[in-house]
Chain A
Amino acid sequence: MKLRELAHSRTGDKGNTSNISVIAYDLVNFPLLARQVTAERVKAFFADIVQGEVVRYELPNLGALNFVMYQALGGGVTRTLALDIHGKALSSALMELEIDPNS
């Protein structure tokens, strides 16, 4: 199944760093997300876009993961040549990530 069915997401930007939250609709699914949506997978997913490392933070209280992606915004909102200068559409792209519900 797609990540979109289990979680929702919003992208934020600060300088050349992007963060993407991944929030379980149902807290029951948080352990599954925590197992499957790893920093490594997110880094591989955005291989064409994110030049730096990807760090994951966990907020089990809220059923949320927060991915911080460095060197991800073509120099940042003030000087990037990208059409989406903030990288706002990155969260929608990540919703395509494949999740194996039986893992």
Chain B
Amino acid sequence: MKKIRLGSGAGYSGDRIEPAVELAEKGNIQYLCFECLAERTIAIAQQAKMKDPDAGYDPLLVARMEAVLTLCHQKGIKIITNMGAANPLAGAKKIKEIAQKLNIKGLKIAAVTGDDVLVAIRSQELIIEETGADLSTIKDKLVSANAYLGAGPIVEALKGGADIVITGRVADPALFIAPLLHEFGWSPDDWNLMGQATVVGHLLECAGQITGGYFADPGFKDVPGVGHLGFPIAEVGADGSVVITKVDDAGGMVTLSTCKEQLLYEIHNPATYYTPDVIANFTGVSMTEIAKDQILVTGGTGAARTGLLKVSLGYVDSYIGEGQISYAGPGAVNRGYLALDIIKERLELTGVKTQEIRYDLMGVNSLHGEKLSNGHEPYEVRVRVAGRTETMPEAIRIGNEVETLYTNGPAGGGGAWKSAREVVAMVSVLIPASLVHPIVHYEVI
């Protein structure tokens, strides 16, 4: 029976480089997929593209491609990635440049565009999913609007002979569903197969999070070799059944527990996981350990897709100013609380207006508040003040006030740090798929 082996080369934009090289070298894979596009990344990439029309693709695109391109070309491994971010066309051109520099010949690179719907949605009356407000309330502040595309255009690119497919916003599992549709000739309307393919994609899209990354808890959940964690491989059969595994000598582990944690990661109702391709149902999924580091996963099902696409909107929302400073030794907590009181008074005295502000003592209450914190006296604490403002100058004032604790605050404050940044916030709307027109472009060398 035909089997396809997919490797997951990155779980987020800044992820490690060398596990993908290990997969290309030793993974016996046919496809290497890189998921590198978090929700907000595309809005930031859009701002970069506005300043420079050749920018707006993933900052690590060059490093990743330089690392794997020669190997993948030699072995015939196809690459699928959303590293195009706000500018897949420029990303494809960049890959072509790198390939030429590496003396690679006979390479077809496909760029998928059409996810950028900033112009199309301006004329629509839409409701923001998160707040229920009308889209018009943030229209003037929009910096990006990208629809989550499904597997369709990636399949088209693979049918068109692409060795590398680079996209902007697509649903994360689509990067993995597309090669399965292409290789097995599944119908995109076979909802149960699409549901199971979504399980495969969901398990692989965070890379190391299923091979023992983000899992270790010494004494309870021990993981071997986390410093050289291997990234996952999915070996998929024509019936959709999948074995999750890794390169034998790579660090980490694939167990029932690592697979279960990843299956439920970022899932709400497991019976209705909405994607552009299918409404996937994870409730019938079962997992069996068939050998060490080999977990068989079956039972994903699905129902017909809705025909609506989620659009992620980035808009300039506010500014956040922040400052931190540390206190240590006896009385550190009291001096930390005194420092927070001083900042409160200073911001009031100097008229810094904030929409929202929080005063944390790291080491005491910064993560989960007073109730869940135990009240032990730590050796050291770190004061943290973060406030949201309408203007950048006010945001800067917050960090400055914390910094002035050096010469004006409680005794022994050290390691002050400050920042002020623009906040590009994200919300989403749903639009009919008929408003979105994906296009596949090719570069050939």
B261-A49 in contact (CB<8A)? no
Given A48-B368, A61-B284, A79-B388, residue A8 in contact with residue B264 (CB < 8 A): no
Q: Does B270 reach chain A (CB closer than 8 Å)? A: yes
Given A61-B284, A78-B40, residue A14 in contact with residue B268 (CB < 8 A): yes
Q: B282: which A residues are within 8 A, CB to CB?
A: 59
Q: Does B147 reach chain A (CB closer than 8 Å)? A: no
B387-A13 in contact (CB<8A)? no
Complex: how many Å from CA A47 to CA B283? Answer: 29
Interface residues on A, range: 35 or more
B257-A8 in contact (CB<8A)? yes
Q: Which residue of A lies closest to B217 (CB)?
A: A8
- By secondary structure, the B interface counts as mixed
B40-A61 in contact (CB<8A)? no
Given A23-B260, A68-B269, residue A81 in contact with residue B130 (CB < 8 A): no
Q: Does B318 reach chain A (CB closer than 8 Å)? A: yes
Complex: how many Å from CA A100 to CA B333? Answer: 35
Complex: how many Å from CA A7 to CA B221? Answer: 10
A12-B320 in contact (CB<8A)? no
Q: Does B371 reach chain A (CB closer than 8 Å)? A: yes
Complex: how many Å from CA A102 to CA B371? Answer: 27
Q: Does A10 reach chain B (CB closer than 8 Å)? A: yes
Q: A62: which B residues are within 8 A, CB to CB?
A: 260, 263, 285-287
B384-A12 in contact (CB<8A)? no
Complex: how many Å from CA A99 to CA B426? Answer: 38
B368-A49 in contact (CB<8A)? yes
B425-A89 in contact (CB<8A)? no
Q: Does B28 reach chain A (CB closer than 8 Å)? A: no
A66-B386 in contact (CB<8A)? no
A15-B130 in contact (CB<8A)? yes
A12-B266 in contact (CB<8A)? yes
Q: B286: which A residues are within 8 A, CB to CB?
A: 61-62
Q: Which residue of A lies closest to B387 (CB)?
A: A81
B317-A10 in contact (CB<8A)? no
A48-B260 in contact (CB<8A)? no
What's the least CB distance linking A7 to chain B, in Å? 10
Q: Does B1 reach chain A (CB closer than 8 Å)? A: no
Q: A48: which B residues are within 8 A, CB to CB?
A: 368-372
What's the least CB distance linking A92 to chain B, in Å? 8
Q: Which of A66-86 contact B (CB under 8 A)?
A: 66, 68, 75-79, 81-84
Complex: how many Å from CA A83 to CA B359? Answer: 11
Q: Does A33 reach chain B (CB closer than 8 Å)? A: no
Q: A16: which B residues are within 8 A, CB to CB?
A: 130
A89-B367 in contact (CB<8A)? yes
Given A8-B217, A78-B425, A83-B360, residue A89 in contact with residue B264 (CB < 8 A): no
B423-A78 in contact (CB<8A)? yes
B388-A10 in contact (CB<8A)? no
A12-B267 in contact (CB<8A)? yes
A79-B317 in contact (CB<8A)? yes
Q: Which of A8-43 contact B (CB under 8 A)?
A: 8-10, 12-17, 19, 21, 23, 25
Q: Could you write out 20 A-B pairs with CB less than 8 Å apart?
A: A8-B217, A8-B220, A8-B221, A8-B261, A15-B130, A15-B426, A23-B260, A25-B257, A49-B369, A57-B270, A59-B283, A66-B268, A68-B269, A76-B425, A79-B320, A81-B320, A81-B356, A81-B357, A83-B362, A83-B386
Report which B residues bind A (CB closer than 8 A): 39-40, 130, 214-215, 217, 220-221, 257, 260-271, 282-287, 299, 317-318, 320, 356-358, 360, 362, 366-372, 384, 386-388, 423-428
Please name the 7 residue pairs, one residue from A and one from B, whose CB atoms are nearest each other, closest first: A12-B266, A21-B264, A48-B369, A10-B261, A81-B386, A79-B425, A78-B425
